Amino acid sequence: MAIEIRGMSKTADNLLVLNDIDLAFKEKTIYGLLGQNDSGKTTLMRLIAHLRFPTEGYIEVDELDIEEHSDVLKNVYFQTHDNIYPKRAKLKQIVKWMGLFYPNFQMDICSSLLEKYHLNENEFFNKLPLKKKTLFRSCLAFSNDVDYLLLDEPAFSLDAYHRNALYHDMLASYERYPKTIILSTHAIDEIEELIERVVILEDGQVLIDDEVEALVNRAYSVKGDERDVREFLQQKTILGQEYRKGKIKAYVQLDETEMELNENLELKPLNLQELFIQLTRDVYGEREGE
């Protein structure tokens, strides 16, 4: 089982938002979907959830084209920040609707999560403060035993304590019912230990689709005097360079055969967030003049 995206492009208001996307989201895997603002992350999720329609290409869920087999969408849940509920909808009504549409929605789990976050089921959703709206959306998402769970900035507006609690809820949901989770966020440092694969979008195209461990294990910074660094960088994959107080700090991808350094150079591994910054920093033209 998988989500298959082939040759998919999306144009909106005469702008190419996504361009010739080919991706496969495998079963029972937690993905990080990363990208700068306007890279196409939310649009991609909306297309998978069939809330938008591709200009070209197609999307299959479990080998069924979602255009022709809409029933398969009961296996997909998209936690969105879009305002999709009626103005007078109470939390208990929304929970009831979820149970009617999704056959594996766990009412008991949802009730315990609402209690955990002190959410009154008789409150109107549209009158909740932003923090409580975010928590309620997460209660719904993590009570839903679907095969594909799409989370668009699920920790938006939350403090550190509640972000941590949310990630625990996500893992509990995964352990209870293993599923494919696609998690879009800017808080990359918080999710590196949670995700198995990472997809990075840049300007509406797939820049990276790789295992997290394999990706970060090849990423390093190397620092030293200009002559030593430039000699080491010959025939290496360079991601970026910085000049600081007469020294060069370069960001590179290395394999095991390229790890030898002279004693004047300092080599450090990059984490996923540091690597992401280097991979996408030229979006703003930061490499001009290097």
**Could you tell me the pLDDT band of residue 282, with boundaries at 50, 70 and 90?**
low
Instruction: Give the chain's mean pLDDT.
Output: 92
Point out the least confidently predicted range of 48-62, 135-149, 185-199, 253-267. Answer: 253-267
**Could you tell me the pLDDT band of residue 258, with boundaries at 50, 70 and 90?**
confident
Q: Where are the beta strands (DSSP E) in the chain?
A: 2-12, 15-26, 30-35, 56-61, 64-65, 76-79, 148-152, 180-184, 197-202, 205-211, 219-225, 237-244, 247-253, 266-269
Q: Where are the domain boundaries for CATH 3.30.70 in the chain? A: 217-284
pLDDT attached to residue 262: 74
CA quadruple 138, 51, 38, 125: dihedral sign: negative
The CATH class of the 217-284 domain is: alpha beta
Residue 232 has pLDDT above 80, yes or no: yes
pLDDT in tens, 28-70: 999 999 999 999 999 999 999 999 999 999 999 999 999 999 9
* Rg of the chain on CA atoms, in Å: 22
Q: How far is the first Cα of the chain from the last one, in angstroms, to the nearest whole number?
A: 45
Ordered alpha helix ranges (H), the chain? 41-48, 91-101, 107-116, 130-141, 160-176, 188-191, 212-216, 226-233, 272-280
Percent of the chain residues topping a pLDDT of 90: 82
Residue 149 has pLDDT above 80, yes or no: yes
Residue 290 has pLDDT above 50, yes or no: no
pLDDT attached to residue 261: 73
d(CA 220, CA 266): 10
Q: Where are the domain boundaries for CATH 3.40.50.300 in the chain? A: 2-84+138-211
Please give the average per-residue pLDDT across 100-113, as a whole number: 95
Nearest one of 93, 105, 103 to 144, comparing CA atoms: 105
Residue 288 has pLDDT above 50, yes or no: no
pLDDT in tens, 186-221: 999 999 999 999 999 999 999 999 999 999 999 999
pLDDT attached to residue 284: 44
Top-confidence residue, 234 or 170: 170
Residue 161 has pLDDT above 70, yes or no: yes
Please give the average per-residue pLDDT across 70-95, as a whole number: 93
**What CATH code would you report for 2-84+138-211?**
3.40.50.300
| Secondary structure (3-state) at 174 | helix
**Could you tell me the pLDDT band of residue 107, with boundaries at 50, 70 and 90?**
very high
